[in-house]
Amino acid sequence: MARIPAPPGLPVVGNTLQIPSHSPVEHFVKVASRYEEGIFQLEIAGRTVVLVYDPDLVAEVCDESRFVKRINPPLSIVRDFAGDGLFTADRDEPVWGQAHRILMPAFSQRSMKAYYPQMLEVAEQLVASWAVRQGEDLPVADDMTRLTLDTISLTGFGYRFHSFDSPELHPFLKAMGGALTEAMLRNQQLPFVTKLQRKREVAYRRDIATMQELVDDVIRQRRAEGSTGSKDLLGLMLEASDPRSGARLSDENIRNQVLTFLIAGHETTSGLLSFALYNLLREPHTLARAYDEVDRLLPDDEPPSYETIMKLDVIPRILEETLRVWSPIPLFGVSPMENTTIGDYALPEGARTGVLLPALHRHPKAWDRPAEFDIDRWLPDQKKEHHPAAYKPFGNGERACIGRQFALTEARLALALILRRFAVSDPSVYRMKIKQMLTLKPDGFTLRVRERRAHE
Ligand code: HEM
């Protein structure tokens, strides 16, 4: 057996103090570049964490007959507010399977078509808000967050945040940002340090209460409307039962699911759209191909149909390549169910193992010219040649992202409407600075727009 490479740490604290709390993943990627074995381990806050990014080793840890998602830190900390919602429930809790089976129909392709009018309504609000701010520096990540939060809340729960009506972000987002930042800090703290920080604890509990009050409002509003027969996420949770066990979801679990979907359903897609625009501004050739595509498929100013959005080809490939180069979720965790080996390395039962996506998605064993943004990697005949475990932006197996189609439909539509209407530019030549909470986003990225067609 080979020894898993490990950068030297200090007694007691191990590698904890080497990891900057605002950007742990950037640090992990830097360490990864030193170990071509595609695996290393760190001692963080008293725990051993193994990070894997060689595609062959990743293929092994993605084998669901040997590895399972366990709710370890930071997810066990996020559980303080997401409870037993889908993201933070353990496989062994019956409620995970019940909720998974109840909610799956809400993420079918047919459901995407049903959500489309509301997705379009919110995307048009974004475009209208940019149309009156031409020439201004537009805060990309904030506006993408407005778009994605309003989209998941309207399509999933029939609830309107009206984010584009206000220059301030909704208080829910501030509370969520506070709670997620605290959860990530706690992830790197020894528990006794967390206990000493009373003021932070008070702020953390206040943020959680703010989010829960909003969720209660969403549910109260729907209950007040009576049974609407709606098959949206909330409608299914309130009325459907698990096809296998017949069980219904408890009120508390529904609350946890709504909060989970509000967070998981917008943070990541907002990051994807922000990174996609960043990439397009640096790749004029690809941007030109995207303009060509929208001019061809969306030639007039009419709202595009769902079928038209499904015909796009360049824009979806821009999204796939963006998810390779900048995965909004940079890491997901699994653990072996029994003592096992991957490659030449032994892993004990329960070992905390993370798949480090930025390093996997640029691994030279799997990708030619890994640093190049090339959407033609996603042409069908090239896609067939990809290493089967080299691309995991939506996680793995049964615990993979339930909202994948939702995110990709929403993002295709938003990008198509933006590029049909506006020429985008970046006069301040933004330099990438990553902001990490649970997900990654470009911090402080702005762009400018001007109408493309108005004076033609
Ligand atoms: C799970 C990524 C959008 C809801 C996951 C996981 C990843 C991921 C990597 C697995 C996490 C793990 O193994 O611990 C993404 C990305 C998105 C996106 C990159 C956008 C580009 C969405 C959307 C929704 C959503 C739009 C909801 C509408 C969820 C839920 C889970 C999940 C509920 C937990 C599933 C389960 O374990 O049963 N996502 N996601 N995500 N995602 Fe997404």
Reported as a single tens digit per residue, the pLDDT across 430-450 is 999 998 887 999 999 999 999
Termini Cα distance of the chain: 68
Phi, psi of 49 (to 5 degrees): -120, 125
Q: For residues 94-121, give the mean pLDDT.
A: 95
- Residues listed for the chain: 456
Residue 456, pLDDT above cutoff 70 = no
Q: Is the CB of 329 under 6 A from ligand 1?
A: yes
The verdict on whether 62 is a catalytic residue reads no
For ligand 1, atom 32, which residue shows the shortest CA distance? 401
Q: Please state, in angstroms and rounded to a whole number, the distance separating the CA atoms of residues 4 and 345.
A: 6
For ligand 1, atom 12, which residue shows the shortest CA distance? 332
Catalytic residue among 62, 275, 322, 401: 401
Q: What is the pLDDT of residues 362-403, one digit of tens each?
A: 999 999 999 999 999 999 999 999 999 999 999 999 999 999
Q: What's the 193 CA to ligand 1 centre distance in angstroms?
A: 31
The verdict on whether 164 is a catalytic residue reads no
Residue 242, pLDDT above cutoff 80 = yes
**Identity at 200, one-letter amino acid code:** R
The verdict on whether 394 is a catalytic residue reads yes
Return the structure tokens found at 19: 């990891």
Strand partners of residue 425? 448
* Angle in degrees, 0-180, between the axes of helices 140-157 and 251-264, rounded to the nearest 10: 150
Q: Closest ligand 1 atom to the C-alpha of 257?
A: 33
Q: What's the 281 CA to ligand 1 centre distance in angstroms?
A: 27
- The radius of gyration of the chain's CA atoms, rounded to the nearest angstrom, is 22
From 237, 332, 394, 405, give the residue whose CB has the most ligand 1 atoms within 8 Å, as the site to mutate: 394
Q: What's the 453 CA to ligand 1 centre distance in angstroms?
A: 36
For ligand 1, atom 43, which residue shows the shortest CA distance? 401
Q: What's the 214 CA to ligand 1 centre distance in angstroms?
A: 21
Q: What is the pLDDT of residues 186-223, one digit of tens each?
A: 887 777 777 778 889 999 999 999 999 999 999 988 88
For residue 364, whether the previous peptide bond is cis, meaning omega lies within 30 degrees of 0, is no
Q: What's the 401 CA to ligand 1 centre distance in angstroms?
A: 4
Q: Is the CB of 273 under 6 A from ligand 1?
A: no
Task: Count the neighbouring beta carbons within 10 Å of the beta carbon of residue 96.
Answer: 20
Average pLDDT of the chain, as a whole number: 94
Strand partners of residue 50? 41, 353
Q: What is the pLDDT of residues 112-165, one digit of tens each?
A: 999 999 999 999 999 999 999 999 999 999 999 999 999 999 999 999 999 999
Strands 345-347 and 340-342, bridge-based pairing:
antiparallel
Residue 185, pLDDT above cutoff 90 = no
62 is in an annotated binding site: no
Q: Please state, in angstroms and rounded to a whole number, the distance separating the CA atoms of residues 276 and 119.
A: 19
Q: Is the CB of 87 under 6 A from ligand 1?
A: yes
Q: What's the 400 CA to ligand 1 centre distance in angstroms?
A: 7
From 401, 413, 438, give the residue whose CB has the most ligand 1 atoms within 8 Å, as the site to mutate: 401
Q: Closest ligand 1 atom to the C-alpha of 327?
A: 19
Q: How far is CA 138 from CA 141, 177, 426, in A?
A: 9, 20, 10
Q: Please state, in angstroms and rounded to a whole number, the distance separating the CA atoms of residues 134 and 136.
A: 5
The conformation of residue 10, written as its DSSP 8-state character, comes to B
Strands 340-342 and 39-44, bridge-based pairing:
unpaired
Q: What's the 447 CA to ligand 1 centre distance in angstroms?
A: 27
From 268, 321, 408, give the residue whose CB has the most ligand 1 atoms within 8 Å, as the site to mutate: 268
For ligand 1, atom 34, which residue shows the shortest CA distance? 87
Q: What percent of the chain has pLDDT over 70?
A: 99
Single out the residue of 6, 1, 13, 9 nearest to residue 32, CA to CA: 6
Q: Is the CB of 53 under 6 A from ligand 1?
A: no
HSE value, Cβ hemisphere, 13 Å, CA-based, for 364: 5
Q: Please state, in angstroms and rounded to a whole number, the distance separating the CA atoms of residues 7 and 90.
A: 31
Catalytic residue among 394, 406, 422, 445: 394
Residue 455, pLDDT above cutoff 70 = no
- Confidence at residue 454, expressed as pLDDT on a 0 to 100 scale: 59
306 CB contacts (<8 Å, ≥6 apart)? 112, 113, 116
Q: Please state, in angstroms and rounded to a whole number, the distance separating the CA atoms of residues 382 and 379.
A: 5
Query: Are 4 and 40 in contact, with CB atoms under 8 Å apart?
Result: yes
Query: Are 335 and 353 in contact, with CB atoms under 8 Å apart?
Result: yes
Cα dihedral 13→17→21→22 (10° resolution) = -160
